[in-house]
Amino acid sequence: MRSRSGIGGMSRFNVTSVALGLAFLYLPIAILVIYSFNASRLVTVWGGWSTRWYVALLHDQAMLEAAWTSLRIAALSATAASVLGTLAAVALVRAGRFRGRTMFSGMVYAPLVMPEVITGLSLLLLFVALDAARGFWTVTIAHTTVTLSFVTVVVQSRLLSFDRSLEEAAMDLGCPPLKTFLTVTLPLIFPAVAAGWMLAFTLSFDDLVIATFSTGPGATTLPMRIYSEVRLGVKPEINAICTIMIAMVAVGVVAASLLAKRGELAKARAA
């Protein structure tokens, strides 16, 4: 019997360290979720189960507005990033060895590792220099810029394993190049594009730093709203809205990975 030495063949030491690691990661979140259902007004005192803070949220006009702004920004920027990111991935994978290819691919990846503060600040400088009215659209553009590279990475890895003879077959049968891309390539890499969209959406939705730099009066995103409220003290409603955000992000990430996996499956079947 193995169970004496641990679970599923893991030693007791491994089980303990995994449990500690998971606790470290998820205990704060678990506490937040549990306290969002706290009946008591005092955040630190347990007063029994209740959903009253969720109901209260429905009447918090400012919070709802911020949530709506965030949703719109996330959807718009994720869509723009998916289009641009896919095009960039196609260019990188397909264009062969054009001049400056290495530099171009390096530049696409840079935002992945760039500190957000720097990205945010440089975007702010750009918007100021362009004399753009800062608000909803500047945040959307900033988020598109930042999330684009994530889409590119996801789509690029799919394209690298894409069988080009499928495109050749389409053209051979009389399909012009652009139509081939739309009717053959895009449907087949779509899971990767959708995964990229999900990723971009969640990244945009929970971004605080870049939004803070690039926004102006009148456009407050949800994370900004939460942050400013928390500075005045943690209210139970905040726990509730954060729980909703966690749920959304979790759904988004799981959906993205499922889509990516489905793409892998389709590829394996096609092979």
Q: Which residue has the tokens 């690029």?
A: 156
Contact between 187 and other proteins by CB under 8 A: the answer reads: yes
DSSP 174: T
- The residue type of 106 is G
Residue count, binding to other proteins (CB under 8 A):
21
Contact between 266 and other proteins by CB under 8 A: the answer reads: yes
Sequence-distant (6+) residues with CB within 8 A of 227 are 208
Contact between 208 and other proteins by CB under 8 A: the answer reads: no
Among 39, 184, 208, 244, binds other proteins (CB under 8 A): 184
How would DSSP label each residue in 101-147? Answer: HHHHHHHHHHHHHS-HHHHHHHHHHHHHHHT---SHHHHHHHHHHHH
Contact between 270 and other proteins by CB under 8 A: the answer reads: yes
Among 188, 193, 210, 242, binds other proteins (CB under 8 A): 188
CB of 177 to other proteins, least distance (A): 8
By CB under 8 A, the residues from 209 to 238 that bind other proteins are none
Contact between 269 and other proteins by CB under 8 A: the answer reads: yes
End-to-end C-alpha distance for the chain, whole angstroms: 41
- Dist CA 35 CA 111 (whole Å): 36
CB of 90 to other proteins, least distance (A): 18
Contact between 172 and other proteins by CB under 8 A: the answer reads: yes
Return the SS3 of 187: helix
Sequence-distant (6+) residues with CB within 8 A of 152 are 85, 86, 88, 89, 92, 108, 196
Contact between 171 and other proteins by CB under 8 A: the answer reads: yes
Contact between 166 and other proteins by CB under 8 A: the answer reads: yes
Contact between 168 and other proteins by CB under 8 A: the answer reads: yes
Among 170, 198, 211, 219, binds other proteins (CB under 8 A): 170
Which tokens belong to 174? 């009389």
Contact between 95 and other proteins by CB under 8 A: the answer reads: no
Contact between 182 and other proteins by CB under 8 A: the answer reads: no
Among 12, 55, 160, 163, binds other proteins (CB under 8 A): 163
Which letter, b or e, does each residue of 207-232 get, where b requires 16 or more Cβ atoms within 10 Å of its Cβ?
bebbbbbbbeeebbbbbbbbeebeee
Window of 51-59, 103-111, 160-168, 244-252 that interacts with other proteins by CB under 8 A: 160-168
Among 8, 42, 165, 233, binds other proteins (CB under 8 A): 165
For other proteins, the binding residues (CB under 8 A) are 163, 165-166, 168-177, 179-180, 184, 187-188, 266, 269-270
